[in-house]
Amino acid sequence: MLTAVPDADLVVFPELHLVGVLDLPEDERVPTLQAAAVPLTDPVIGELDAIAAARGIGLAPGSLCERGADGELFNTSLLFAADGTLTATYRKIFPWRPFEPYTPGDRFVVAALPLADGAATRAGLSICYDAWFPEHARHLAWQGAELVLNVVQTTTPDRAQELVLARANAIVNQTFVVSVNTAGPHGAGRSIVVDPEGHVLAEAEDAQDTVLVADLDLDAVPRVRETGTAGTNRMWEQFLPTDPALELPMYGGRIHPEHWTPGSAPPPSP
């Protein structure tokens, strides 16, 4: 695939691309994942960073099954900078229960992503079912993500709804969203790239093997946040420093107006 996009700055593969197909009976699924699981010190990490460095590309090679220190299984996505540096790892927070046996991750991940020719962005990592929880995409944007990489492996009939979610998450957070799903027969395909105003930049029409290519104007995020979505909505400027904190009782927390701006320091712990 990499030879098909020789001028790409960033290449993204689907969820569990580093594990392979897991269309297995339930009684075989966990033993197979346990056998496939590797720690993040495994040689495959070095092989992937060598690929990224040799081609000078940002690389999101999908996710792998990570073996934790106590034998836990995590669905973990990786992100490599164009110089081969492993710039981020992320453990899926919302495994699709009861089908997926993974231990949930406990933190959102946003990382600086240097690309070729001096370009750079801040990427937030997301895996499949994470996209169904608005708190996830919001926290990535809040922590400074300009680009959300949602890697997916699903054959379920709700892919049409996930395309709506990709656009909605892009619109309400004013970020790019890249949702890359496995092709058939082991995925429903229909990958999509969305800009910060919700416009579709590229979309695979079906489940066939596809190399989807899109040009991302990395200046679009700050521009849209300054001028407003459709020249109208500037959600990240909603709060004034003099506004009272907004209590969020169901979260046991609050929104502090002085910490509303994306990338700002989080409020101190209570």
Confidence at residue 218, expressed as pLDDT on a 0 to 100 scale: 93
Confidence at residue 119, expressed as pLDDT on a 0 to 100 scale: 86
Strand partners, 64: 76
Distance (Å, whole) CA 196 – CA 169: 9
Max CA-CA distance within the chain?
57
pLDDT tens, residue by residue, 204-229: 999 898 999 999 999 999 999 999 99
pLDDT of 203 over the 80 cut: yes
Using a pLDDT cut of 90, give the percent of the chain over it: 79
User: pLDDT grade, residue 121 (50/70/90)?
Assistant: very high
pLDDT of 99 over the 90 cut: no
How much is the mean pLDDT over the chain? Answer: 93
Mean pLDDT of 123-132: 98
Mean pLDDT of 49-62: 96
DSSP element (H, E) containing 31:
helix 26-36
Domains and CATH numbers, the chain: 10-259 (3.60.110.10)
Confidence at residue 28, expressed as pLDDT on a 0 to 100 scale: 84
pLDDT of 1 over the 90 cut: no
Mean pLDDT of 257-268: 84
The pTM of the full predicted model, rounded to 2 decimals, is: 0.95
pLDDT of 90 over the 70 cut: yes
Handedness of CA 162, 95, 109, 251 (dihedral sign): positive
* pLDDT higher at 63 or 115: 63
Alpha-carbon torsion angle 47, 129, 93, 95, nearest 10: -90
Residue 128 has φ and ψ, to the nearest 5°, of 45, -105
Burial of 179 per CB tally in 10 Å (0-12, 13-18, 19+): buried
pLDDT of 22 over the 70 cut: no
Least confident of 118-122, 161-165, 189-193, 215-219: 118-122
User: pLDDT grade, residue 268 (50/70/90)?
Assistant: low
Confidence at residue 60, expressed as pLDDT on a 0 to 100 scale: 98
Confidence at residue 270, expressed as pLDDT on a 0 to 100 scale: 58
Structure-block tokens of residue 152: 């997916």
User: Is residue 60 within 8 Å of 119, Cβ to Cβ?
Assistant: no
Distance (Å, whole) CA 136 – CA 65: 21
Mean pLDDT of 155-161: 94
Confidence at residue 124, expressed as pLDDT on a 0 to 100 scale: 98
Distance (Å, whole) CA 207 – CA 224: 32
Confidence at residue 21, expressed as pLDDT on a 0 to 100 scale: 66
Those residues whose C-beta lies under 8 Å from the C-beta of residue 15, and which sit 6 or more positions away, are 62, 63, 75, 77, 127, 128, 151, 152, 153, 181, 182
